[in-house]
Amino acid sequence: YVSGLENALPAPYAGLASGITVGDKRSLGKELTDDFRRTGLIHIIVLSGYNMTLIVGAMMLLVSGTSRWARCAFGIAIILAFVVMTGASATSIRAGAMAGLALFAVVSLRVYAVDRALALTALAMVLWSPHTLLYDPGFQLSVLATIGLVHTAPFFEKYLRWIPTRFELRSIAAATLGTQSAVLPLLVYQIGLLSVISLPANLLVLPAIPLAMITSFIAGVVGALNATLGFVVGIPAYALLSYVVHLTQLFASVPFGAIEIPVFSAWVVALVYTVVTAIALLQNAFRQQTS
């Protein structure tokens, strides 16, 4: 598949396409990867449930006329293949498990409780491999980002009425603030960099990502079968990926767009998350008492 992307798209766009679809950013290059970090856009080239949902959803259009249980079986098979294809990392396993649970909930006409799905998936993964909890930054960030998306993003959305809903801009802003605030202490501890231009960069880049992912995936599949046809089919992906790359490089060149933070102890990170969790639990208990 990655070779198919390289047949269909020139560098560094093939590397970006590989990153946004299957989380493989090895051919993206250090300079461009650093630009994504400085602009707070690194999350788009890290495999997540969002990537998996879009790709699996596109593949399931092939069986749209079958029964819901047949679609569920096909979807789970695609998820398993996707997890294996992307190296079965902790991040892809978590995303795959949650996507599979969501798919099962849809076809069985049940409510998908994302908190329970995340807790069950994370617990199973830690029990299977305890070192994941402390020594796998991808797993740590993906769990925190999911928590931020579910619990923190709605809080921000209430105060973002001034942002229009067109092109999902308000939802993107809320999701960006929610996930970024959730991962911020750990991310700053890990990379020592704080992006202050993350919000505008995400607002301008993220609307193009879903279509870029779908067109890139199609280009990669076709390019793996025929290089010439892949090049032709890859033209829409090339246009969208060019937009993302040039905008990222533009934001990365903004003076003081990212601030380097001195090294600090992991205990500070633990303390911050402990305090935030305690505040959230107290607020929830207070709301339940008043209601």
- Write a three-state SS string for 41-85: CHHHHCCCHHHHHHHHHHHHHHHCCCCHHHHHHHHHHHHHHHHHH
pLDDT of residue 250: 94
Longest dimension (CA), the chain: 65
pLDDT of residue 238: 96
Confidence of residue 195 (pLDDT cuts 50, 70, 90): confident
Cα–Cα distance between 163 and 175 in angstroms, integer? 13
- In degrees and rounded to multiples of 5, residue 258 shows phi and psi of -135, 135
From 32, 10, 164, 22, select the one nearest 88 (Cα to Cα).
22
What is the dihedral angle through the alpha carbons of 120, 125, 131, 134, rounded to the nearest 10 degrees?
Answer: -40
Average pLDDT in the 267-274 region?
91
From 114, 199, 120, select the one nearest 148 (Cα to Cα).
114
pLDDT of residue 14: 93
Q: What does the pLDDT look like over 107-128, one tens digit per residue?
A: 788 888 888 888 999 999 899 8
59 pLDDT above the threshold of 80: no
Cα–Cα distance between 270 and 239 in angstroms, integer? 43
Q: What pTM value is reported for the model?
A: 0.79
Average pLDDT in the 237-241 region?
96
50 pLDDT above the threshold of 80: no
Mean of per-residue pLDDT scores for the chain:
86
Average pLDDT in the 18-37 region?
85
Cα–Cα distance between 33 and 67 in angstroms, integer? 43
pLDDT of residue 291: 67
Average pLDDT in the 81-90 region?
81
Per-residue b or e along 151-175, where b marks 16 or more CB atoms closer than 10 Å to that residue's CB: ebbeebbeebeeeeeeeebbebbbb
pLDDT of residue 248: 94
Q: Compute the chain's Rg from CA coordinates.
A: 20
Q: What is the number of helices (H) and of strands (E) in the chain?
A: 16, 2
Minimum mean pLDDT range among 19-28, 183-192, 199-208: 19-28
Average pLDDT in the 228-255 region?
94
